[in-house]
């Protein structure tokens, strides 16, 4: 039975990198087929995961959602594959697209999209948008089997969850939190943040190889950082 896993959090909390690495872990370790969905229109996922690809080789979630009825064939046509990963597909917006490029999707269409993705893959990973007004992300939180809230050791993150707490109330019994360390500052208030938030179960350490992947546009490749991947594997095991 297919599972949907939603990653949420404040801007720059490590949602995209963590969700992508968990998706890759599920693909390689659990041998499952994966669809990775990013509904972000402000920073279209194709622009930084596939920066070296030709525009003609990339597709858009917007075209699938623009259909009157959405079937798995419509989703398959818009999935962007990775040559080295046979049953792994990316689903998101292309560089240059924004909220004015397509009509705002309805709840019925989004539910049809979720059903189609679940028909295609064993695991549907959703890299949710921080903005609570994004309907796809909000519905993903409500429909997901597991909801992972990314947190960072800073006041910005605490302010985000204080103002967006209502978005996660329905997912309290289906989720847990992951602390993401995004820099090498030895004086980050990690313990204070963990004590402030409840149910922090994992900590992703700072990873220089991961930062290098972000800089070079190679996030679609598997990460060579055993310390970071050990935590990712633990998260993947938890959601399975």
Write out pLDDT tens, residues 193-205. 888 888 899 999 9
80, pLDDT greater than 90: yes
Q: Which two tokens stand for residue 183?
A: 């820099």
Q: What angle do CA 206, 209, 215 make, to 5 degrees?
A: 100
Q: Are strands 80-82 and 85-92 parallel, antiparallel or unpaired?
A: antiparallel
Nearest to 175 by CA among 1, 32, 9, 39: 9
184, pLDDT greater than 80: no
pLDDT score recorded for residue 230: 96
Dihedral sign computed on CA atoms, order 96, 61, 63, 98: negative
pLDDT score recorded for residue 18: 96
Q: What is the pLDDT of residues 98-126, one digit of tens each?
A: 888 999 999 999 999 999 999 999 999 99
pLDDT score recorded for residue 196: 83
Reported in sequence order, the residue ranges of 10-82 that DSSP labels E, i.e. its strands, are 34-38, 80-82
Q: What is the CATH number of the domain that holds 153?
A: 3.40.50.300
pLDDT score recorded for residue 33: 94
Which segment of 15-24, 65-74, 179-188 scores lowest on mean pLDDT?
179-188
Q: Mean pLDDT, the chain, as a whole number?
A: 91
The domain total for the chain is: 1
Q: What is the pLDDT of residues 159-171, one digit of tens each?
A: 998 888 888 888 8
Q: What angle do CA 174, 180, 182 make, to 5 degrees?
A: 155
Q: Tell me the whole-structure pTM to 2 decimals.
A: 0.93
Mean pLDDT value of segment 48-71: 91
Give the DSSP letter of residue 123: E
Range of the domain at 44: 3-239
């Amino acid at each position: 039975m297919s599972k949907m896993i939603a990653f949420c959090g404040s801007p720059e909390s490590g949602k995209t990198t963590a969700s992508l690495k968990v998706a890759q872990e599920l693909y390689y370790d659990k041998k499952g087929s994966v669809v990775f969905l990013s509904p972000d229109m402000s920073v279209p996922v194709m622009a930084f995961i596939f920066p070296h690809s030709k525009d003609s080789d990339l597709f858009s979630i917007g075209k699938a959602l623009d259909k009157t009825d959405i079937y798995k064939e419509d989703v398959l046509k818009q999935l962007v594959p990775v040559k080295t990963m046979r049953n792994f597909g990316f689903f998101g917006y292309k560089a240059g697209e924004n909220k004015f490029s397509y009509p705002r999707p309805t709840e019925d269409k989004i539910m049809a999209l979720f059903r189609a993705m679940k028909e295609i893959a064993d695991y549907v990973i959703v890299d949710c948008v921080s903005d609570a007004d994004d309907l796809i992300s909000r519905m993903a939180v409500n429909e997901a089997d597991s909801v992972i809230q990314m947190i960072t050791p800073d006041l910005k993150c605490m302010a985000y969850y204080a103002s967006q707490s209502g978005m996660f109330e329905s997912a309290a019994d289906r989720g847990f939190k992951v602390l993401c360390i995004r820099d090498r500052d030895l004086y980050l208030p990690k313990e204070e943040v963990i004590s402030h938030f409840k149910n922090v179960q994992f900590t992703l350490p700072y990873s220089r190889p991961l930062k290098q992947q972000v800089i070079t546009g190679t996030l679609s490749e598997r990460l060579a950082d055993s310390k970071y991947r050990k935590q990712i594997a633990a998260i993947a095991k938890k959601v399975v």
